[in-house]
Structure 1
Amino acid sequence: MEFRHLRYFLVLAEELHFGRAARRLSISQPPLSLNIQQLEASVGARLFTRNSKQVVLTAAGQAFVPAARALLEQAAQAASHARDVGQGMAGSLAIGFAGTMLYSGLPKILERFQARHPLLRLMLKELSSSEQLMELVQDRLDLGFVHTTRVPPELSEILVARQAFVCCLPAGHALARKRTLSLPQLQGEPFAVVSRTVSPDYHERIMAICTEAGFYPEIRYELRHWLSVVSLVSQGMGVALVPAALQQSAMAGTAFVPLQQATTPYDTHCLWKTSRDNPALAAFVSAVRAASTPPRGNAR
C-alpha cells in the first residue's frame, strides 16, 4: 500500500466516477483503475462496486475512508514537523544556566526567541558552571550560560555580558548607606560566598580581589546558589561580593553598595558544542548574539 493509492482512493470515493476522478488527479483512467485494484489487493477486500452506469463504495470502502484520510493527514503532519525541525522551527533545546542569568538578560532572550519560534520547546536547567561544562561535553545540554574561562576546546562561546562586583550588605549594616565603599572596610567581616566546588572561578576571584586589597576574607558561609548568598546576607549573618545584576533581586533586608576599586569584571559566556548540527541551536545562538552587549570581537 502506498500513499498514492490512498489519495486515488479518496478522490474516487468523493467523485464516484472514474472519469471525473482521473481528471482531478491529472491522470488517465487506466492508471487510476490499476491503482485501485492494487489497493484492494493490499487491503484484501473490494472497496468499490462498479458497472457501466455507476461506481459505489462497498461497506469495506465506506469503513476505509476515514482511516485512509487519517493516514494521509498523519503523513502530512509528520512531513511538516520534519521540515520545521530541519529549519530550526520545531523540536526542543536543553539550555543550562547559572542563577545570575535570571537577572542578566536570559528571560528577555527566551521571551523574544519563543515568540519567533513558538513550536520549539525550551527546557531550562539551573546548573553550576562546572556542571554545565560536563553536560555540554557529554551532549546532555545543547547550550549553556556559564561564568568561567575554563572552556574546553570543543566548545564555541559568546561573551554575553560583563558586570562589576558590588558589596551586598545587611540593610542595617553600618556601611549600608555609603555611596561607595573601599574593600579594606570589609576586613574582618564574615563573608558568604558560592562554594568553591560549585563555582571555582568565582571563589578564586573573590579571594584575589580581597588579597589584592590587603586582607584575606573570613569566609564563614559557602552556599550553592547566588540567591542563598543574598538571602543569608539579608538575615544579617554576613556580607558578600556579588555580581551587580543581583541588585535586581530586590530582596528585603539587603543593600548593595558599589566598590571604589575597579575589579576584574564578572563575565557571562554562552557555550555550545561546535560540532552540533542543529538548526534550532543555530537559531538560538543567533538570538543570543543579537542580545549580547559586548563587542562582537569577543565571540569565537
Structure 2
Amino acid sequence: MELRHLRYFLALADALHFGRAAQRLAISQPPLTVAIQQLEAEVGAPLFVRNSRGVQLTAAGRALVPAAQTALDQAAQALDAARDAASGQVGRLQLGFAGTVLYRGLPQMLRRFQAEHPRLALTLREMSSSDQLVELLHGRLDVGFAHVPRAPEGLAEQLISSQPFVACVPHGHALAAERAVPLSALAGEALAIVSREVSPDYHARILAACQAAGFAPQPLHELRHWLSVTSLVAQGLAVALVPEALRLSGLAGAVFVPVTDPHGALPRYETRCLWRPAQGQPALGLFLGAVQTVAEGG
C-alpha cells in the first residue's frame, strides 16, 4: 500500500465521483481507477459500489476513511518532524558551564535563544572547566562554556569574554577602602585560590604572578569553585584574586578592589565557548550562531 493510494481513496470518498476526484487530484481518471482497484485488491474487499447513481462507499470503505486520514496525517507529521530536525528547530543540546559564567551573560543568552527556538531543549550541567574538556572530547557534551586560555586540540572555540582579576578582601580589611592596590600588597596574607585539579592553568598563572610580584602566598587555601573562594574571603579567612564578574555575586562581607600589576604577569580571565567541529548537528549550528551574536555584542 502506498500513501498515494490512500490519498486517491480519500479524494474519491469525499467527491463520490471519479471525474471530480481525478480533477481535484490533478490526474486523469484512468490512474485513479487503477489505484482504487489496487487498493481494493490489497484490502480484499470492494471499497466503493459503482452504480447508475454514481459511487457509494461500502462498509469497508467507510471503515477505511478515518484510518486512511490518520495515516496521511501521521505521515505528514513525520515529514514535518524530519524537516524540523534537519533545520535544527527540534532536538536537545547538552551544555556544560563553569559557575562564574552565570555572571557573564549566559542566563540572558539562554533565555533569548529558547524564546526564539522553543522546541529545542537545552540541558545544563555545571562542571569545572577541566571536566568540560573531558566530556566534550568524549562526545558527552555538545557545548561547553569554560575558562581556558585556548581550546585544546580537537575542539573549536569562540571567545565570549575577557575580564581582569581583582583583589577580593574581607570587609574591614586594610585594603578594602583602596581605589586600587598593587599585587604585592597581598604579600603575607593567606590566599584562597581555585585548586590545581579544577583549573590547572589559572592556578599556575596566579601563583606565577604572585612570584613575579615578589612573594609566595602562605598559607594557600585551595577550593573547587570561585564562589567558594569568595565565600571564604567574606568570612574573613583569606584574601583572593578572583575574576571581576564575582562582584555581581552579592556576597556580603567581600570587597573587590582593582589590582595594579606592573610586571604584567597577572592573566586575564577568559571564557570560551567550546565544541567539537563537524558534528553535523543543525541545532548546534543554530546555537553557535546565537553565541557568536552575544560574543560580538549583538
TM-score of the pair, normalised by structure 2: 0.90
Deviation at 1:258, TM superposition (A): 1.0
User: What corresponds to 1:120 in structure 2?
Assistant: 120
Question: For this pair of structures, how many residues does the alignment match?
Answer: 294
User: What corresponds to 1:264 in structure 2?
Assistant: 267
Distance 1:293 1:34, change over 3 A: closer
Name the CA distance, whole Å, in 1 between partners of 2:296 and 2:5: 56
Letter in 2 for 1:292: A
Distance 1:219 1:21, change over 3 A: farther
Letter in 2 for 1:267: E
Spell out, residue by residue over 1:240-290, the C-alpha distance to the aligned partner (whole angstroms, 9 max, x if none): 211111111112222111112253211112211123222222222222222
Name the CA distance, whole Å, in 1 between partners of 2:52 and 2:101: 75
Name the CA distance, whole Å, in 2 between partners of 1:109 and 1:142: 17
Spell out, residue by residue over 1:40-84, the C-alpha distance to the aligned partner (whole angstroms, 9 max, x if none): 333344333332313233333333222222222222122122222
Of stretches 171-180 and 41-50 in structure 1, the one that deviates more from structure 2 is 41-50
Name the CA distance, whole Å, in 1 between partners of 2:33 and 2:158: 61
Spell out, residue by residue over 1:183-215, the C-alpha distance to the aligned partner (whole angstroms, 9 max, x if none): 222223222222211111121122112111111
Deviation at 1:219, TM superposition (A): 4.8
User: What corresponds to 2:284 in structure 1?
Assistant: 281
User: What corresponds to 2:82 in structure 1?
Assistant: 82
Deviation at 1:165, TM superposition (A): 0.2
Asked if 1:157 corresponds to 2:157, the answer is yes
Deviation at 1:117, TM superposition (A): 2.3
Letter in 1 for 2:267: T
Name the CA distance, whole Å, in 2 between partners of 1:173 and 1:61: 88
Q: 1:292 aligns with which of 284, 292, 295?
A: 295
User: What corresponds to 1:137 in structure 2?
Assistant: 137
User: What corresponds to 2:108 in structure 1?
Assistant: 108
Distance 1:197 1:53, change over 3 A: same
User: What corresponds to 2:178 in structure 1?
Assistant: 178
Of stretches 227-236 and 197-206 in structure 1, the one that deviates more from structure 2 is 227-236
User: What corresponds to 1:249 in structure 2?
Assistant: 249
Name the CA distance, whole Å, in 2 between partners of 1:219 and 1:2: 77
Letter in 2 for 1:224: R
State the secondary structure of the residue aligned to 2:280. coil
- Conservation of the 8 A alpha-carbon contact between 1:166 and 1:244: yes
Distance 1:172 1:75, change over 3 A: farther
User: What corresponds to 1:27 in structure 2?
Assistant: 27
State the secondary structure of the residue aligned to 2:192. strand
- Conservation of the 8 A alpha-carbon contact between 1:161 and 1:293: no
Name the CA distance, whole Å, in 2 between partners of 1:49 and 1:271: 66
Name the CA distance, whole Å, in 1 between partners of 2:168 and 2:45: 79
Of stretches 194-203 and 217-226 in structure 1, the one that deviates more from structure 2 is 217-226
Structure 1: gaps (5+ residues): 295-300
Name the CA distance, whole Å, in 2 between partners of 1:219 and 1:281: 45
Distance 1:45 1:189, change over 3 A: farther
Paired-residue identity, % = 59
Deviation at 1:151, TM superposition (A): 2.9
- Conservation of the 8 A alpha-carbon contact between 2:206 and 2:267: no
Name the CA distance, whole Å, in 2 between partners of 1:254 and 1:70: 64
Quote the RMSD (CA, aligned, Å): 2.1
User: What corresponds to 2:207 in structure 1?
Assistant: 207
Structure 2: gaps (5+ residues): none
